[in-house]
Amino acid sequence: MNDPLSKWCWDGASIESIKGLAAQYRLSLSDLVDDHFVGGWPSSVPKPYRGFIRGGVDRTEADRTENSMAGHSYYMQILACDQNQRALVMRGVVDLYTDAEGYNVVETSTAAALAWADSYRVQAAANA
């Protein structure tokens, strides 16, 4: 990874610069993170909220009767928190039957990102 994109360092001031970098290279935020900044910018995220956060497992009654493996598992990761109280968050879901996975990177307030993380943890604990 000797390309200039991979050597780019975020200053933490605004997530707008991360979005601008993605636009400059004609990448989605998901592709930017996947291909160049796996894990995001964890030093900008409060320590208790770093890394993957598992959420709940959703199994409908139909899922349980048709197939014991059916359902969806949710996860998230706060990728960056800036000085303007804005955050980039990866939110994903896994289909437990097929192992298919999908996620997107969304922009929100830092307070909302932390609240999502707390909610995911409560949901995961309820499923444990």
When the pLDDT of each residue in the chain is averaged and rounded to a whole number, the result is: 90
Neighbours of 92 (CB within 10 A): 17
Q: Which residues pair with 78 in a beta bridge?
A: 89
**In angstroms, what CA-CA distances link 61 with 42, 65, 71?**
38, 6, 10
Q: What is the mean pLDDT of residues 2-20?
A: 90
Lowest mean pLDDT across 24-38, 66-80, 84-98, 106-120? 66-80
Q: How far apart are CA 110 and CA 64, in angstroms?
A: 36
pLDDT > 90: percent of the chain: 73
**Extents of the domains making up the chain:** 39-127
